[in-house]
Amino acid sequence: MLLAGLSLSGCGGASGPVGWQRGVAGSWVSSAHPGERVSVSQMPFQGAPSDLATHILESVVLAPGGGKVSGTHALAECPGAAGEMDFVTNRPPGKIVVFFSIRNTTAYEIRWSGSASDALPPEVLQYAQHRLCRVL
């Protein structure tokens, strides 16, 4: 993946979702949600939100195991400024949800992954909305 595993410095990236512990650089895990992971990244980006969405789509669908889009949404707290793409993968982890936004020439991404039976934890959605909308 082209996105560097950096914390969202403009987004208060030093902390993760409430109750989650820091994993490897730029990621968090939770004992309450075994096997699930949240990662944050940012990268220089020249383009429109649709270009970033295409980049994210390709990074998931063309990855080993591939998958397909199961939904797209604007983030409720900042519609038109940040989005969400949901994926179902052909092999584990099973589900991936990518939250994203662009500010100036920087793309920000928060990615949650879990098994096919996992639901997106509410604290992850709250974290993504708070962090991405604050950047804008």
What tens digit of pLDDT does each residue of 100-125 get?
999 889 999 999 999 999 999 999 99
pLDDT tens digits along 66-89: 889 999 998 878 877 899 999 999
Q: Residue 46's domain spans which residues?
A: 33-135
Establish if 105 belongs to a structural domain.
yes
pTM of the model: 0.86
Indicate whether 3 pLDDT > 50: no
Q: What was the pLDDT predicted at 81?
A: 84
What does DSSP assign to residue 92?
T
pLDDT tens digits along 12-44: 446 899 999 999 989 999 999 999 999 999 999
Establish if 13 belongs to a structural domain.
no
CA 121 to chain centre: 13
Establish if 78 belongs to a structural domain.
yes
